[in-house]
Amino acid sequence: MIGAHLPIGKGIWTIQKQMDILKIETCAIFLKNQRRFDFSHIEEKSVSKFKEEVKNPFTIVPHASYLINLANPKMQDQSYNCLIDDMKRCNLLGIGFYNIHPGSDTSKLGNKRALEMIAENLNKAIKEVPNVVVLLENMAGQGNVCGRTFEELKSIIDLIDDQSRIGVTLDTCHMFAGGYDIRSPELFEKIMLDFDRIIGMKYLKAVHLNDSKNEFNSRKDRHESIGKGQIGIEAFRYIMNSKFFEDIPMVLETPEPKNYAKEIEILRGLIQD
């Protein structure tokens, strides 16, 4: 189930036409301006048009604003209000998933307390907004960012009261930059078995397909086009043929949207009989 991150500047309902042009089954979007905390509530006409146009909203994986930081007490109200608005938009639109960067320990709380704070905010949000499954994205681990390791993601999941409302998005660039060597099928297979052992495959709900500009274990989040970065094409061949990724929405977030069609063709060309 291949997709790409699509713009909504001409209306959130336009994503179906964009998906049809690219011949894809899923996509990622920002639900509103991702660089501002201020927002207006979604209009009813936008919701109606979306429901009329979009064929399968449950496979769409919106991305949270980059400003949201659930591990920073100084941004608690702003982050939480932005999170709740996004989740309410998902619920209104019939979208089942919502992807979020866990947070960054910018206030130097310590890793354990930062992870607890993320879980506390998510527990409150899950109680406030029904239906939407929040997906924790694994991170490259630069600076004080939380969620680099499978163990850290599992620590958050363990603290969630309703674990049917939590999941994981695996980003290939973040995995590689964060110290998970996925450059060969054998290495990737071992890592996925570790993921299953530590977190559990039932929590894997989405994938971000990105090569990496930076070298292995760089802790730098710099996306590159498929097969043109430090990860290389074999990792994506593994993904396209592994049972671990069957029926999982997989979204391109590569740096050149004009190349999405070509990259989708490359990915589909990796599928073996």
- Marked catalytic residue, from 86, 105, 137, 211: 137
> CA-based angle 9:253:186, to the nearest 5?
165
Residue 38 confidence (pLDDT)? 85
CB 206 within 8 A of CB 250: yes
Q: Is 221 labeled as catalytic in the residue annotation?
A: yes
Mean pLDDT by 10 residues, the chain (273 residues): 96 98 97 88 95 96 96 94 97 98 94 97 98 98 97 98 98 98 98 98 98 98 97 98 96 97 97 88
Give φ, ψ of 49 to 5 degrees.
-65, -40
Residue 273 confidence (pLDDT)? 77
Q: Is 224 labeled as catalytic in the residue annotation?
A: no
CB 147 within 8 A of CB 137: yes
Record the pTM. 0.96
Q: Is 41 labeled as catalytic in the residue annotation?
A: no
- Marked catalytic residue, from 43, 66, 128, 158: 66
- Marked catalytic residue, from 221, 238, 260, 263: 221
Check which CATH number belongs to the domain holding 159 and give it.
3.20.20.150
Residue 197 confidence (pLDDT)? 98
Provide the domain limits for residue 92: 2-269
Residue 25 confidence (pLDDT)? 93
**SS3 state of residue 74:** helix
Q: Is 196 labeled as catalytic in the residue annotation?
A: no
Count how many domains the chain has: 1
CB 167 within 8 A of CB 133: yes
Rounded Cα distance, 77 and 102, in Å: 16
**SS3 state of residue 198:** helix
